[in-house]
Structure 1
Amino acid sequence: SNVILAWTRKHSSKSMKHTRDYYYDINRRFLSIIGQWPYQKPKARLFFLALVFTCLINTAITQIAKLLMCKNEQCIFEVLPPHFLMWNILVKVFTFRFNNQKIKNLTDQLFANWDIFETQEEREIMKKYAENGRRYVLIYSSYLYVTAISYTITSLWPCIMDAIIPLNTSRPIMLIWEAYYFVDEEKYYYYILCDMLIIFMICLTGLIAHDCMFFTYINHVCGLFAVVGFRFEHMTYKCDIASRNLIDCLDNAYHRQFVFSIHVHRKALQFAKLIESVFSISFAIQLAIVTVAVSISLLQVSIQLHHNIVEATRYFLFVVAQLFYLFCFSLQGQKLMDYSLDIRDKIYNSAWYELPVKRQKMFLIVMRRGIEASTVTACQIYVYSLQNFTTILQTAMSYFTVLASFNE
């Protein structure tokens, strides 16, 4: 029997490891590409990280050179949106780099928390939320890659039209973003284009890797809160009906349930606080950058709409991608708030009235903590939620109005 039990545990452990690898494999691949996967070999991490920084520095130099060459506001406004995107990606990469130990702690807990659950129902809850996280990763990454490809196609539109409907003279070339490469752009256009395409995809992967890992962390902590709520709701069901009158049975079963639930609840709260400590400062910088970038891009859409429909389409795609980014983060922040506050309702909906009075009073400790929502903030100033998402939209529109009035 001992041999069978040992084999069962070993088989269960292998099965659980395979499940974890399935749910987090996409995140591992994205983070490995930019040298930020915590379990990556040091040399590989250094190589891929150096590659990302080289791409970002290359982009920064050429964009700053273009800014220095600009002689009017319109030229500056054309350069700034992709330039802000570059700084946004740089902030994301630095976030993982400077919080390397915290990221490793988060990822260690992400894997370790799967082994603490006792029942199949709890494991199924964690699988459900891990699957949700994986789904978010697939949708978010696919959307951004499709948007990037669409944006690139609009940049190649003059070349495509020259091939389909040639004119006596070639149409003016368009770069993926405004930059100055210190060479003749027409002569070396395809070399510059290839360089931009490679940089674009590598840097975009860095952005996606950061965001998708954040989504995975949030869905994991929501799963922990869901397990705690499930335990509180079914707190008194462990004793069978025939033993309901035996206070000792009920009391002991409740005590084990309560201790474990408090343990998991504390883990969820600590996990949420660690997420907040890692991303708070980074999110404040990113929020400021994205708000200004959206405002300037809206200005460019309104200007180019009457002169160049292709350029207007490019900036429109950029605006939609930025708004989608803000909405996804606001949605994750809202989910974290809702699940952390939902513990109170789960306790209320449980059969707490069947417990001894001295045990009922212990619920007050958890309910008191459940009054305060776990949040994702930007330096404790801005709370990511769906309600505040509309506030950011209003702010961006206000900046756009001011810029448009000056442009007139």
Structure 2
Amino acid sequence: MFRRRSLPWEYGVRNLLRRPTRTVLTLGALATVILLIFVVVGFIRGLERSLAVSGDPSVVLIYSLGAEENIENSAVPARTPALLKASLNGIRQREGVDYISPELYLGTRVQTGAGGQGGLGLIRGVTQTAPLVRRNVRLTEGTWPGPGEIMVGKLVAAKLGCDPANLAIGEEITIEKQAWTISGRFAAGGAAYESEIWCRLPDFQQVLKRQDISVVALTLTPESTAANVVLFCKERTDLELQAVGETEYYASLQQHYKPMRLLAWLVVLLVSGAGVFAGLNMMYGAIAGRIREIATLQAIGYRRRAILLSILQEGALLAAAGSLVAAAVALLFLNGVAVRFTMGAFALRVDAICLLVGCGVGLMLGLLGALPPALKALRMPVAESLKSI
């Protein structure tokens, strides 16, 4: 008997259109699963990008030896910047101004709005030299803070969990029982600073009744290296200081959050596995009503391989459509959405890798979901299948 090689491409497309209700429901289920994958992968990519862009290769952080990797617990004398300036060579200068930024960094309760809403905020007291060292920070609205004023990063509202309208220029917020007026807003190219509140260092010291600082950030010339600063801190044991390159510091945070990122990838696998089983359930139901059709195709001369490829084609088409729908929703509504986190806040990032993972998993769901029920239907005897209802 003559065996036909393959079914026409239009056959699979027409099969999807013959059952519009089932097709739409299957498409919606696949798109929902893939969208969940986009959310998780976007979370991972956003966290990684926030830490990656926060470090500057030419910047070195100097803080107390006992603070380990937590700068909030650091306390160094206020004279440390002057001591470093006098003892170190290779600090960048411009028009007689040293690129040295003394900073007081603290996490504390912040209240916003008339109802006193707010949450845990990250406050950084800085001086006029901070923009020289923190080169990715740029003022987007308003002015640099004066006495009793602050400026807020673009993700502060997400970090505090408050209405962004409460952080408009001219509004007041309460930090350490002190009212502060918002004078400006800033962005930092996705860096961790975007979830911080900045104010003048002397004002913050006065409110906290502290004379020390948390960290000294300095920018080195291209000829100098962070190893010189590290060696100086190790030699001057009386100062109890430690130094680390800013890129190395945020790389260590990457390692600190590695278990969480692994857990997120595990969630991707679990969601994918659940999607495969859901796809199996849907495809078993879809193929159960097509057993006579499949047997008829075999009876008129189509090979089992050709029928299998046609069924897989239908699953791939549904999965591709679901992936496109989920990708469109993710790009329009998820990309850039701020997420509150322990280290502050960051934006979900639906980038090329996120799209590749999500769409790849989507296609896998379509193919793996259609394969087992199709093989089961094709193994049944033709005569028995033709009698099925």
Normalising by the residue count of structure 1, what TM-score does the alignment of the two structures yield? 0.27
Higher share in strand: 2
**Which structure has greater helix proportion?**
1
Greater Rg by CA? 2
**Structure with the larger RCO, 1 or 2 (CA within 8 Å, 6+ apart):** 2
